[in-house]
Structure formats: structure tokens, C-alpha cells
Amino acid sequence: MPQLLRHINLNHTLYRRGFSLLQLIIVLAIVGILLGIGLPRWGYVVASNLITAERQQFATLLQFARHTAVMQNQVITICPSRDMTQCHQDYQAWHTGYIVFVDTNGNKQRDAQEERLRVVEAAHAGVLIQTSSGRRAIRYRMDGSAWGSNVTIRFCAPQHPVMNRTLIVHGSGRVRLSDTLSNGKPVICTIP
């Protein structure tokens, strides 16, 4: 009989597994520390991916506009647009959307008869797209060159400024990706 009681007590302790309060607190503390280290880093990863996606989309659109200008022998303009039909003059608000159109009269404004070739709606939340203050539109000539001086297009994540990047459009129409401004300084956007 004593052996039977020992056997019953032994089986009873095998089924009484679980966590003590101290073990639970230790596990929660470790999880909290890992989240505290990992979540800020995750924000950088997300910001980097959003900036990369927006910049690549814009670069592809610039290549399309340049190619179209050469192939169709027409002036092609890219400008910021809030309503996706007309250009607006705010060089600090390309992130609200932009349009590509055939600029038959070369006035940097889309007139009713001018064909829209592409429409890009608002950028991802948390991404700002801004150009140099003197360049409210980018125009490609029939030879593929971009009128005017070089233009720097800034792509910024205000919460993670270390992720800010640029596209630089040269007068020749060539596009260059960069992690800094053309003068080597860090990329900074004006927060609207």
C-alpha cells in the first residue's frame, strides 16, 4: 500500500506542471526587452522600404517620360497634382500625387486638350517627396534632355531622417540615385 501511495503522489506531481509567478515575470521582462530593441529597428526597416519603393517608382516614371518624349517627338512634363488633372505649384508637395502629360504648348500646365500619360496618386503615408524650390515641374524635350538646371528630388521619412534619399535629374535628362544632396550634404525635407 505505501508503494501505491508513492506511485499516486509521483503521478500527481507529473501532471502539476506550469509556470510560477517569478518565471512568468522573467519571461515577460525578456520579451519586453527584445521588443524594446526590435521595434525601433523595425521602424527603420519599414521607412527604408517605403523610401526605396517611392524613389524607384519616381525613377521609373522619369525614364518613361524621357523615353516618350524622344519616341513621340513631343515635350513631356511631370508635375505635382492634388486633383490628378491639373498641376499645382507647391514644389514641397509631390507626395500628394503627380501627373505625366504631353505639354503641347510648353507652359508647364496641363490644359484640357493635353493628354495625361500617367497618374500617380499620393505617396505612402509618412513619406514626403519634394523638389528644389525653383523646379515645380520636370520637362523632357524631344531629344531626351530635361530643361533647366539640375533638379534634386528628395524622398524623406520625417520620423527616420537617416533614411532620406534623393533622385538627381541632370540637364541631360539622366537620372542618378543618391543618399545625399548633390553637394554631399544630408537630405532634409521641409515638414509641411
Q: 16-52, pLDDT tens digit by residue?
A: 566 788 888 888 888 888 777 766 667 778 888 888 8
- Print the domain residue range for 154: 45-178
Q: What is the CATH number of the domain that holds 107?
A: 3.55.40.10
Query: How many residues can be counted in the chain?
Result: 192
* Count of CB atoms situated within 10 Å of the CB of 191: 8
Let me know if residue 151 belongs to a domain. yes
Let me know if residue 150 belongs to a domain. yes
Number of domains within the chain: 1
Let me know if residue 142 belongs to a domain. yes
Cα–Cα distance for residue pair 69/6, rounded to 1 Å? 91
Of the candidates 137, 134, 151, the one whose C-alpha atom is nearest the C-alpha of residue 75 is 137
pLDDT in tens, 124-180: 777 888 887 777 889 999 999 987 778 889 998 888 888 889 998 988 889 988 888
Let me know if residue 109 belongs to a domain. yes
Let me know if residue 100 belongs to a domain. yes
Let me know if residue 121 belongs to a domain. yes
Let me know if residue 16 belongs to a domain. no
Let me know if residue 78 belongs to a domain. yes
CB contact at 8 A, 191 and 157: no
b/e for 118-150, b at 16 or more Cβ within 10 A?
eebeebeebbbbbbbeebbbbbbbeebbbbeee
